[in-house]
């Protein structure tokens, strides 16, 4: 399985690229295809690294446009939770398949997911050919006894996720500190440490969560997690809106990553913005995510990068905060080792995008600024993951079927 890309543009230079066995073998001006290579004639398309979605609930494409414009708790209680009770494993599979289609079409080749029936998400990922870190989810409703009975299930789910191999990686997904007991969180910390697994958790999304944590445990959320052994280099904290300076310092010290989700935060009006300047100053690992399609409502990481940059500038009252190049680096996963960015270089994984050069959004100006401020995911023409072509000329296999499946299933779940 080898692939050659001819005559793409990289940093203003015409280059070609060859990859085999999932890695980039050669990249430069004199690179030629070899016999047996699948060849893409890029003809002046722009070659660039792909995007990494650091926080998603992929299968929630099933609930897109369902219960929008409601307060968070009302939306969860009256819409999402009742609909989720009707979820069948196959629904999750097709919801995640559609998310994979949407992510490839907008330039994302790797994502971090947390949702029910993780093995179905993994199956969708494996059938599509993306990379994903998929969680074995544990939610005990703050009942340690229930948590104990769920441990076996979590371990089984972990085994099943591990068995996928290839581009699917397992992780542990305790939903949040207000839905998982400290006993279960401590157990998860032990399993994660024994098996060197990432832990994906929502943290400090609302002010109420911080207040409850201080009342219940006497410390703010990041310190609480740390006391349970859950704050380390493989910890991914989704949101982190209400973290104070002391917490950001602790997170930097422990090497954990905060994945910010500005669109979902603004849409659900969580009342604040992730304190990016403070976090960046302290050297915290930072990533970007879309959150689920029901609270965003798309999975377009270029749009998310724009929202991130604009929100931070607006918050700071300073347009020089978070320039386009930095927003793009964050969206590519380059500001956190845990997120696994794939640079365009020989020996690195063959994950890359080809962008249409002749579109209005990219017609003048600096490419990075245009990508963040002007373009959407629709400028992506072709996407390659681990040396395999996932999309070419915006065509990808199985897209129509995934749309039809989700449309029908969403009607049953939300009707
Ligand atoms: Zn989330």
**What are 2-22's pLDDT values in tens digits?**
999 999 999 999 999 999 999
Instruction: For residue 126, report the distance from its CA to the centre of ligand 1, in Å.
Output: 22
Q: What pLDDT is stored for residue 59 in this prediction?
A: 98
Q: What pLDDT is stored for residue 73 in this prediction?
A: 81
Instruction: For residue 238, report the distance from its CA to the centre of ligand 1, in Å.
Output: 7
- pLDDT band of 242, cuts 50, 70, 90: very high
**What are 341-384's pLDDT values in tens digits?**
999 999 999 999 999 999 999 999 999 999 999 999 999 999 99
> Which residues are near ligand 1, the ion (C-beta closer than 5 Å)?
291
Instruction: For residue 351, report the distance from its CA to the centre of ligand 1, in Å.
Output: 26
Instruction: For residue 265, report the distance from its CA to the centre of ligand 1, in Å.
Output: 10
Q: How far is CA 94 from each of CA 75, 88, 101, 414, rounded to the nearest angstrom?
A: 23, 10, 11, 15
Burial class (CB in 10 A: 0-12, 13-18, 19+), 388: middle
* Separation CA 245–CA 247 (nearest Å): 5
Pairing of strands 108-113, 51-56: parallel
Is residue 112 predicted with pLDDT exceeding 90?
A: yes
Q: What pLDDT is stored for residue 388 in this prediction?
A: 97
Instruction: For residue 365, report the distance from its CA to the centre of ligand 1, in Å.
Output: 35
Instruction: For residue 303, report the distance from its CA to the centre of ligand 1, in Å.
Output: 18
Instruction: For residue 264, report the distance from its CA to the centre of ligand 1, in Å.
Output: 9
* 283: DSSP letter: T
**What are 70-88's pLDDT values in tens digits?**
988 888 899 999 999 999 9
Instruction: For residue 56, report the distance from its CA to the centre of ligand 1, in Å.
Output: 6
Is residue 262 predicted with pLDDT exceeding 90?
A: yes
Q: What pLDDT is stored for residue 1 in this prediction?
A: 82
Instruction: For residue 57, report the distance from its CA to the centre of ligand 1, in Å.
Output: 6
* Separation CA 401–CA 391 (nearest Å): 16
Instruction: For residue 316, report the distance from its CA to the centre of ligand 1, in Å.
Output: 25
- pLDDT band of 124, cuts 50, 70, 90: very high
Instruction: For residue 81, report the distance from its CA to the centre of ligand 1, in Å.
Output: 14
């Amino acid at each position: 399985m080898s692939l050659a890309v001819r005559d793409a543009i990289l940093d203003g230079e015409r280059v070609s690229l060859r990859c085999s066995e999932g890695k980039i073998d050669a990249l430069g001006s004199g690179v030629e295809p070899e016999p047996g290579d699948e060849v893409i004639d890029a003809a002046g398309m722009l070659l660039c690294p792909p995007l990494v979605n650091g926080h998603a609930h992929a299968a929630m494409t099933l609930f897109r446009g369902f219960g929008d414009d409601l307060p968070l708790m009302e939306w969860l209680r009256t819409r999402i939770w009742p609909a989720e009770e009707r979820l069948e494993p196959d629904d999750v599979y097709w919801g995640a398949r559609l998310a994979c289609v949407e992510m490839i079409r907008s330039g994302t080749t790797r994502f971090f997911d947390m949702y029910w029936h993780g093995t179905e998400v993994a199956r969708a990922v494996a059938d599509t050919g993306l990379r994903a870190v998929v969680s074995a989810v544990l939610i005990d409703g703050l009942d340690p006894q229930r948590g104990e009975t769920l441990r076996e299930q979590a371990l089984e789910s972990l085994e099943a996720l591990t068995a996928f191999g290839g581009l699917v990686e397992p992780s542990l997904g305790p939903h949040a500190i207000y839905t998982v007991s400290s006993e279960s969180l401590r157990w998860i910390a032990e399993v994660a440490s024994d098996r060197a697994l990432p832990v994906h958790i929502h943290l400090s999304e609302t002010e109420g969560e911080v207040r409850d944590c201080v009342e219940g445990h006497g410390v703010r959320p990041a310190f609480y997690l740390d006391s349970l052994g859950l704050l380390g280099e493989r910890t991914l904290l989704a949101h982190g809106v209400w973290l104070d300076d002391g917490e950001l310092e602790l997170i930097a010290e422990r090497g954990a990553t905060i994945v910010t989700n500005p669109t979902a935060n603004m849409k659900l009006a969580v009342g604040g913005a992730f304190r990016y300047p403070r976090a960046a100053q302290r050297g915290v690992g930072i990533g970007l995510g879309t959150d689920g399609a029901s609270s965003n409502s798309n999975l377009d990481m270029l749009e998310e990068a724009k929202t991130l940059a604009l929100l931070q500038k607006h918050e700071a009252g300073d347009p020089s905060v978070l320039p386009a190049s930095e927003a793009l680096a964050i969206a590519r996963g380059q500001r956190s080792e845990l997120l696994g960015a794939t640079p365009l270089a020989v020996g690195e994984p063959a994950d890359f995008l080809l962008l249409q050069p002749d579109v209005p959004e990219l017609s003048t100006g600096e490419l990075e600024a245009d990508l963040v401020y002007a373009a959407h995911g629709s400028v992506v023409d072709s996407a390659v993951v681990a040396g395999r072509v996932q999309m070419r000329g915006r065509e990808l296999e199985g897209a129509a079927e995934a749309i039809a499946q989700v449309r029908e299933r969403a009607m049953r779940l939300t009707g």
